Amino acid sequence: MHPLFLPRLVNGPFEDPVLFVPFQFQRRAVIFDLGDLSRLPPRDLLKISHAFVTHTHMDHFTGFDRLLRCLLGRKMDLHLYGPAGFLSHVEGKLAGYSWDLVDRLRCGLRLHAHEVHPHRMLHRSYIGGDRFAAEGDPTALPFTGRLVSEPAFDVSAAVLQHSIPCLGLTLTERFHVNILKPGLEALGLPPGRWLTRFKNALYEGADPLSTFDIATDAGTSGGRFVLGDLQQQIARITAGQKIAYITDADDGPSNREAMGALAQAADMLFIEAAFLHRERERAAATHHLTAREAGEIAALAGARQFTLFHFSPRYRGREHELVREAREAYEKAKGKRA
């Protein structure tokens, strides 16, 4: 099986948090947090359609400039999401530069920023070709947990408490389309871009009785099929992938419940572990999780797999202690729940 999402932490666990998630076989990606992006080459930055910023502490937002610089002059839309105060933080970034020569770039970039509150979102767009002037006043939209809803996937968020509001995030594939190689071979069909179109037809719920024309990448016709028949012969539908991303949150009771619910049954949970539990007072004072808490939350959520990041620099060379503490807490909590 080829998973749709290929998430990877861009930096080491002592460096800025950034989770880059390219989509298999597509020139597209989403990104969680905009810490230092210097390790992402322009070809990866150009794939980003949506950026989700947990909060605007510098280590999570300093990469906004690199992303903006790379996309400048491109004709594209970039959707940005962040917690309370986000619109003014984006506007502050945009106000930090002179845009008088941007007209020469024929900048077709449009930014669509969303500020997420517990029950509503404020949305405002900024037009690159107009020196990033805002397009009208912010508009309010209802928010019930979902930030993005596309045929193939959703992105959801929970507003968690850090020292300031901070978004916990999930990316969920609706279902997964596995392409069966023997099925393709039996029909003499070469793999190619048409498979993305085929998958999109399934995600969009196209009528199984409708016809589906195959064009190969070489430009020849691969034939005409009834969509449902083709699906039976070349595809198998399985559960979709769920990825959760939680960082910079304290372990208060309401946060723990919200984190457990958000990451419920995640295939992969990326979760911060800033401190060892014996320094939990320091963790609480700075509103971060300890490794033990991270392991317990992963167990509470029933996450299949978890990866720790955002370690305090005091543990340099002792990463294994954080990993061991979280692993032990995860196993112990899972044992109790079984």
Distances in whole angstroms, Cα of residue 124 to Cα of each of 26, 90, 134, 156, 234: 28, 10, 7, 19, 43
User: In terms of CB distance, is 16 or 173 closer to Zn ion?
Assistant: 16
| Tokens linked to 174 | 């609706």
Q: Least CB distance from residue 60 to Zn ion, whole Å?
A: 6
**Footprint of Zn ion on residues 100-159 (CB under 5 A)?**
none
Answer yes or no: are the C-beta atoms of 33 and 19 closer than 8 Å: yes
- The amino acid present at 12, given as its one-letter code, is G
Q: Is 248 near Zn ion (CB under 5 A)?
A: yes
Cβ burial, residue 66 (10 Å; 0-12/13-18/19+): middle
- The amino acid present at 271, given as its one-letter code, is I
Task: Please select the residue that binds Zn ion; options are 59, 115, 251, 296, rule is CB under 5 A.
Answer: 59
Q: Least CB distance from residue 30 to Zn ion, whole Å?
A: 19
Question: Quick one: which segment of 57-65, 145-153, 213-221, 329-337 binds Zn ion (CB under 5 A)?
Answer: 57-65
**Count of CB atoms situated within 10 Å of the CB of 111:** 22
User: In terms of CB distance, is 166 or 234 closer to Zn ion?
Assistant: 166
Answer yes or no: are the C-beta atoms of 34 and 53 closer than 8 Å: yes
Question: Quick one: which segment of 1-9, 54-62, 133-141, 192-200 binds Zn ion (CB under 5 A)?
Answer: 54-62
CA-closest candidate to residue 269, choices 315, 300, 311, 238: 300
CA distance linking residue 301 with residue 337, whole number of Å: 11
Q: Is 57 near Zn ion (CB under 5 A)?
A: yes
Q: Least CB distance from residue 163 to Zn ion, whole Å?
A: 7
User: In terms of CB distance, is 161 or 264 closer to Zn ion?
Assistant: 161
Instruction: Mark residues 171-200: x for contact with Zn ion by CB under 5 A, - for none.
Output: ------------------------------
Strand partners, 268: 243
Answer yes or no: are the C-beta atoms of 65 and 72 closer than 8 Å: no
Answer yes or no: are the C-beta atoms of 19 and 26 closer than 8 Å: no
Question: Quick one: which segment of 89-97, 192-200, 207-215, 245-253 binds Zn ion (CB under 5 A)?
Answer: 245-253
Give the phi and the psi of residue 326 in degrees, each rounded to 5. Answer: -65, -45
| All residues at 6 or more sequence positions from 105 whose CB lies less than 8 Å from its CB, including other chains | 72, 73
User: In terms of CB distance, is 59 or 250 closer to Zn ion?
Assistant: 59
CA distance linking residue 246 with residue 157, whole number of Å: 10
Question: Quick one: which segment of 37-45, 65-73, 247-255, 257-265 binds Zn ion (CB under 5 A)?
Answer: 247-255
Q: Least CB distance from residue 155 to Zn ion, whole Å?
A: 20
User: In terms of CB distance, is 248 or 267 closer to Zn ion?
Assistant: 248
CA distance linking residue 274 with residue 59, whole number of Å: 14
User: In terms of CB distance, is 142 or 313 closer to Zn ion?
Assistant: 313
Q: Least CB distance from residue 80 to Zn ion, whole Å?
A: 18
Question: Quick one: which segment of 56-64, 86-94, 111-119, 297-305 binds Zn ion (CB under 5 A)?
Answer: 56-64
User: In terms of CB distance, is 173 or 250 closer to Zn ion?
Assistant: 250
Q: Least CB distance from residue 162 to Zn ion, whole Å?
A: 5
Q: Is 33 near Zn ion (CB under 5 A)?
A: no
CA distance linking residue 73 with residue 81, whole number of Å: 22
CA distance linking residue 27 with residue 127, whole number of Å: 23
Question: Quick one: which segment of 24-32, 86-94, 113-121, 242-250 binds Zn ion (CB under 5 A)?
Answer: 242-250
User: In terms of CB distance, is 67 or 107 closer to Zn ion?
Assistant: 67
User: In terms of CB distance, is 35 or 240 closer to Zn ion?
Assistant: 35
Q: How many residues bind Zn ion (CB under 5 A)?
A: 3
Residues that bind Zn ion (CB under 5 A): 57, 59, 248
